[in-house]
Structure 1
Amino acid sequence: MSEPTNGSAPGDDVTGQSTGATGDGTQSSRSSHRRRSERHTGKTHRHPWLRRAAFGVSGLLVVALVLGVAAYVKLNGNIQRLDISSALGDRPQQEATTDAKTNLAPVNIFVMGSDSREGTNLGKGQTEYGMAGSRSDTNLIVHLSADRQSAIVVSIPRDSMTMAPRDCKNKNDKVDNGVIRQWNQNFTLGGPACTIRTFEGLTGIFIDHFVVIDFRGFQDMVNALGGVTVCLPEPVQDRQSHLDLPAGKTRVNGKNALAYVRLRHNIGDGSDLGRIDRQQAFLSSVIQEATKSSLLLRPDKLFRFLNATTSAMTTDKGLDVGEMKDIASSVSKIGTNQIRFVKLPTTTYPPDPNRVQWTAGAGPIWKAIRKDEPLPGTKVPSSTTTATAPATTEPALTVSPGDIQVRVTNNSGVAGLAKQAAAELRVQGFTITSFVTGTGAPTDGVVVRYGPDMKEAARTVAAVYPDAQIREDKLLGSTIELSMGVGSPRAVEIPNRLGTTPLPKPSVTATPDPSSSASVKARTAAQDICT
């Protein structure tokens, strides 16, 4: 065997070298075509897998979308809706502004617990706006701050005796010209509409949404969570509800949870106030349970909970699942230590020791909600101090004090305040028709009420007392009504006053009770439920 003549080592591709040396390019062209063909063949083999993967992902997205839409339709369909907008009459103005960082306004939600839907036509276009025959013994005001850094939940005792419209079906009947009535009777007589109308008239707080929770569906909500832990200071055996629980912490199912939150007798002093304490601890436990169990990260568990919740709900027309989702997402970062539960300060109602009335200590709570401010004595996240809305300039006063008649009422419980206010107004040119002492429990701050076409005149009166509230009352005529309550500020000179006589030096001050105004007692959702 002869050796290769070109000096190549064994195994070298002599043919390829020889061909390349020929310069005709035939084999080179074939090789290039083969490489292109192989690449093309490889792509041909890979395309079906890519297409299958793409179709698979698209299918999953379609299925997820269909399931999401189906879940939305299901949850939205669960909710009973009630349009009470035309039954609320004149409503307070929203005093708080949109937050500069979140671009959101504060939200006030009224939550009511109802023990019956029998005899009602909820969601069926009825015009009575009520739940006649139903009873409510749980009323919560939920306030979400505009910066979504904190929440306040206020419990109103059902045994509270307050002013209320004489007839909630009559739009001319208001809190101011109404009657004294036990709080939970508002719901029995006129459902959510009468309850909200009474609350707004008492506090000046605008309610954005309401939710009525059917107690019969409440236990399904607890079961969907997998139970909730409660804590009792002493063993309880209640024959009526068949509740039998030991002292200390116990995990309860829906049936026992419902009995626990409604329990009134055979524990503590048997009062409604004691039950409110237990209900607030229970709500804290629910929040802790939802946080601890990562409810939002478990779609199956979350759907069961939402399905149970929405099935037990009656809401206003505007609070659909989409709005709930937006609210939930906006408050999802609120820490449990910034969710505060407050029990409304009360004292014994003199005519009936089994009933209570709100004290002046309720004023700072309502003011904090109305103005979207922290509760007195509480700490808020540092970011809230920089998330304030831009300052606004009040429009100029257009009505001269000389063209305004004012009737002054002292609703502070401090003698002489109405007479003093009358002097402060008179020296600036206002005409005082009368000044009297009001009846009923003390009110908070200064309220100016006006009749039709008298808003600008009311603004002039309100300017004398900084932070005064202005409310329309269509029953009033041309006389402006000025109510001086607890914590009324000192009078100031207004720009368009008449005369130059200095304001009289005040000798009467309706100072709030220091124990209530210095700080508001509240428990947070982060506290141990046994405290």
Structure 2
Amino acid sequence: MSAQSTPDPGIPEPGAYGPGRIEGRRRTTRGKALRIAAWTAAGIVALGGTGAGYVYFKLNGNLKSVDIDQALGADRPRKVDNGSENILVLGSDTRAGGNAKLGGGDDDGSSRSDTAMIVHVYQGHRKASVVSIPRDTLIDRPSCTSADGTEHPAASDVMFNSAYATGGAACTVRTVESLTGIRMDHYLEVDFAGFQRFVDDLGGVKVTTTKRISDPNSHLHLAAGTHRLTGREALGLVRTRHGVGDGSDLGRIQLQQAFVKALADQAKQVGVLTSPQKLYRLADTATKTVTTDSDLGSVNSLMDFANGLKGIGPAHMTMVTMPVQYDPADPNRVLVRKAKARLIWHALEHDRPIPASATKGAATGGAKGVVRS
């Protein structure tokens, strides 16, 4: 079978979207594939521990950055000076080169974003909340100007991930800030192929599956049990949707969130003294595949930022999905549950924990607990 892991010895071993209605609108579009981005935080934490000054210029030359502040101007939510930070972490898929081979889909050279996570780091930088925004969410996209100065008019009833396809990083940040009312302090983006390389450089990531997962679309076949996933297998896991839960993108998000915790835990186990060579490989891969906002656009800035996140372990990360319900007019789309979503945005703005009532009763995808770190 393709990309199958062997369970560790001695360790034991789909559906359709459901109906629902809320505030929002509908539109029929098509979208395919996924990248997870939140692994970037784990990768950059590993980078922050290198202290390898002699490779500074090499790593610094790898980095790409986007001047979000210049593109968006002054018409943004206010900065909140309470010691917290909001980071938009995005996965991108440029369907060309290595990504075209990995994506298994439309090789048209276009760029897509299929998963976005808002990482809120609380005051003191000892804990964080992560809010996933489903790519299939129908929204009203605001007008925006991309980093190259191109202006894009507003659009109604479009999928969330159309913001990136339309205007890249700047339009995505504008859309997220419009959706949440919260200013994004930083932006981190990682591409599809980089995810696979990073996991391989890390030596794989250990996860436990509580059920068998078999999805030929993502080339993933895992028995129930514990596995150390290769980069290709990890990519298949975070892309799969038909092999778990109700077959929706929401179920896939639940797999992604579980994998992010496992990845963060694995990355924190890499020590400076025990494996400097591995740390360099991780840093080299991360800086080659990550795009940041201009404030984080140097190795020194990135290292300072990463060092500030080192106190946040998987046990101190709360992960939720923006409250949505399935669109009754189109079962392949979801609609924001605005009243519940406002509870999340208000909590993050005021540096408070996300209340349990914010996600109660929202669509979930039915894949929680299938993967554990």
* Same structural fold, with TM-score higher than 0.5 when normalized by the shorter chain: yes
User: How far apart, in 2, do the equivalents of 1:296 and 1:111 lie?
Assistant: 29
- Match of residue 363 from structure 1: 342
- Match of residue 156 from structure 1: 133
Question: Is the partner of 2:267 in helix, strand or coil?
Answer: helix
- Equivalent of 2:215, from 234, 238, 242? 238
- Equivalent of 2:233, from 256, 261, 271? 256
- Match of residue 160 from structure 2: 183
Query: Is 1:68 equivalent to 2:47 in the alignment?
Result: no
User: How far apart, in 2, do the equivalents of 1:185 and 1:517 lie?
Assistant: 25
User: How far apart, in 2, do the equivalents of 1:150 and 1:281 lie?
Assistant: 17
Question: Is the partner of 2:372 in helix, strand or coil?
Answer: coil
User: How far apart, in 1, do the equivalents of 2:111 and 2:152 lie?
Assistant: 25
Query: Is 1:268 equivalent to 2:242 in the alignment?
Result: no
Question: Is the partner of 1:361 in helix, strand or coil?
Answer: helix
- Match of residue 214 from structure 1: 191
Q: CA deviation at 1:160?
A: 0.5
- Equivalent of 1:277, from 251, 254, 267? 254
Deviations 1:197-250 (A, max 9, x none): 011112111111111101111111101111002333433333334322212221
Task: From the two aligned structures, give the one with the greater strand fraction.
Answer: 2
User: How far apart, in 1, do the equivalents of 2:225 and 2:131 lie?
Assistant: 26
Question: Is the partner of 2:197 in helix, strand or coil?
Answer: helix
Question: Is the partner of 1:93 in helix, strand or coil?
Answer: coil
- Match of residue 491 from structure 1: none
Q: Which amino acid aligns with 1:530?
A: R
- Match of residue 309 from structure 2: 331
Question: Is the partner of 2:134 in helix, strand or coil?
Answer: coil
Question: Is the partner of 1:374 in helix, strand or coil?
Answer: coil
User: How far apart, in 2, do the equivalents of 1:350 and 1:195 lie?
Assistant: 26
Q: CA deviation at 1:87?
A: 2.6
Q: Is the 8 A contact 1:159 1:184 kept in 2?
A: yes
Q: Is the 8 A contact 1:365 1:520 kept in 2?
A: no
Question: Is the partner of 1:135 in helix, strand or coil?
Answer: strand
User: How far apart, in 1, do the equivalents of 2:152 and 2:268 lie?
Assistant: 46
Q: Is the 8 A contact 2:117 2:132 kept in 1?
A: yes
Q: CA deviation at 1:367?
A: 1.2
Gaps of 5+ in 1: 1-66, 99-104, 120-131, 378-514
Q: Which amino acid aligns with 1:162?
A: I
- Match of residue 175 from structure 2: 198
Q: Is the 8 A contact 2:213 2:223 kept in 1?
A: yes
- Match of residue 530 from structure 1: 372
User: How far apart, in 1, do the equivalents of 2:248 and 2:371 lie?
Assistant: 19
User: How far apart, in 2, do the equivalents of 1:314 and 1:285 lie?
Assistant: 23
Deviations 1:135-162 (A, max 9, x none): 1111111111122121111111000011
Rg larger in structure: 1
Q: Is the 8 A contact 2:324 2:362 kept in 1?
A: no
Query: Is 1:516 equivalent to 2:348 in the alignment?
Result: no
User: How far apart, in 1, do the equivalents of 2:362 and 2:324 lie?
Assistant: 13
Question: Is the partner of 1:348 in helix, strand or coil?
Answer: strand
- Change in 2 beyond 3 A, CA 1:272/1:295: farther
- Change in 2 beyond 3 A, CA 1:251/1:70: same
Q: CA deviation at 1:361?
A: 1.6
- Match of residue 93 from structure 1: 78
Q: Is the 8 A contact 2:120 2:128 kept in 1?
A: yes
- Match of residue 106 from structure 2: none
Q: Is the 8 A contact 1:296 1:302 kept in 2?
A: no
Q: Is the 8 A contact 2:323 2:363 kept in 1?
A: no
Deviations 1:18-54 (A, max 9, x none): xxxxxxxxxxxxxxxxxxxxxxxxxxxxxxxxxxxxx
Q: Greater relative contact order: 1 or 2 (C-alpha under 8 angstroms, separation 6 or more)?
A: 2
Q: Which amino acid aligns with 2:87?
A: I
- Equivalent of 1:79, from 41, 44, 63? 63
Question: Is the partner of 2:342 in helix, strand or coil?
Answer: helix
Q: Is the 8 A contact 1:117 1:214 kept in 2?
A: no
Q: Which amino acid aligns with 2:70?
A: S
User: How far apart, in 2, do the equivalents of 1:530 and 1:163 lie?
Assistant: 35
Q: Is the 8 A contact 2:217 2:240 kept in 1?
A: no
Query: Is 1:140 equivalent to 2:124 in the alignment?
Result: no
Deviations 1:289-311 (A, max 9, x none): 12345468532222211111111
- Change in 2 beyond 3 A, CA 1:259/1:517: closer
User: How far apart, in 1, do the equivalents of 2:280 and 2:130 lie?
Assistant: 25
Q: Is the 8 A contact 2:87 2:119 kept in 1?
A: yes
Query: Is 1:321 equivalent to 2:299 in the alignment?
Result: yes
Q: Is the 8 A contact 1:243 1:256 kept in 2?
A: yes
- Match of residue 107 from structure 1: 85
User: How far apart, in 2, do the equivalents of 1:280 and 1:296 lie?
Assistant: 30
Q: Which amino acid aligns with 1:86?
A: Q
User: How far apart, in 2, do the equivalents of 1:376 and 1:296 lie?
Assistant: 41
Q: Is the 8 A contact 1:364 1:517 kept in 2?
A: no
Gaps of 5+ in 2: 1-50, 98-108
- Aligned identity (percent) is 42
- Match of residue 353 from structure 2: 374
Q: Which amino acid aligns with 2:344?
A: I
Q: CA deviation at 1:171?
A: 6.5
Question: Is the partner of 2:184 in helix, strand or coil?
Answer: coil
User: How far apart, in 1, do the equivalents of 2:194 and 2:299 lie?
Assistant: 18
- Change in 2 beyond 3 A, CA 1:337/1:251: same
